[in-house]
């Protein structure tokens, strides 16, 4: 008989050159769903961050299989978050010699199944 232990596996990627605000709108769609359903949703979403999140979710699923050798059909996305990474600060020239700051944001994306 199997123990009542919580099986969890995670995957993450750091310093992705996309804003965490844009990533979070995708992660909100898959949080709490089954991995199978989440993979289907991500496959057909038209956003730039969808393939990145799809790879992270596949990696978390593979980590689960390597750690526990259990059936991955019952997996759920427990946690999916995008934290902000370091910002690249650039300046764009504006009128009368002024410089206009541009913040190029990066993300750290974490997924746990």
Tokens standing for 65?
């299989």
Distance CA(76)–CA(74), nearest Å, equals: 7
At 5 the pLDDT is: 63
CA 64-51-102 angle, to 5 degrees, is 120
The domain limits of the chain are 10-112
Indicate if the pLDDT at residue 2 is higher than 70.
Answer: no
CATH 3.90.470.10 assigned to 10-112: yes
Helix (H, G, I), strand (E, B), or coil: what is residue 65? Answer: helix
Question: Which residues, in sequence order, are bridge partners of residue 84?
Answer: 107
The pLDDT tens digits of the residues spanning 28-75 come to 999 999 999 999 999 999 999 999 999 999 999 999 989 888 877 788
The pLDDT tens digits of the residues spanning 71-87 come to 777 889 999 999 999 99
Q: Compute the mean pLDDT over every residue in the chain, rounded to the nearest whole number.
A: 90
């Amino acid at each position: 008989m199997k123990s009542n232990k919580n099986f969890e596996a995670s995957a993450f990627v750091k310093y992705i050159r996309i804003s965490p605000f844009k990533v979070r709108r995708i992660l909100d769609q898959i949080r709490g769903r089954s991995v199978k359903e989440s993979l289907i949703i991500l496959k057909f979403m038209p956003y730039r961050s969808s393939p990145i999140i799809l790879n992270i979710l596949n990696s978390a699923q593979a980590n689960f299989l390597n750690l526990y050798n259990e059936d991955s059909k019952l997996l759920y996305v427990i946690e999916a978050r995008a934290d902000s990474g370091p910002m690249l600060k650039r300046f764009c020239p504006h009128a009368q010699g002024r410089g206009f700051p541009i913040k190029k944001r990066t993300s750290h994306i974490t997924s746990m199944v």
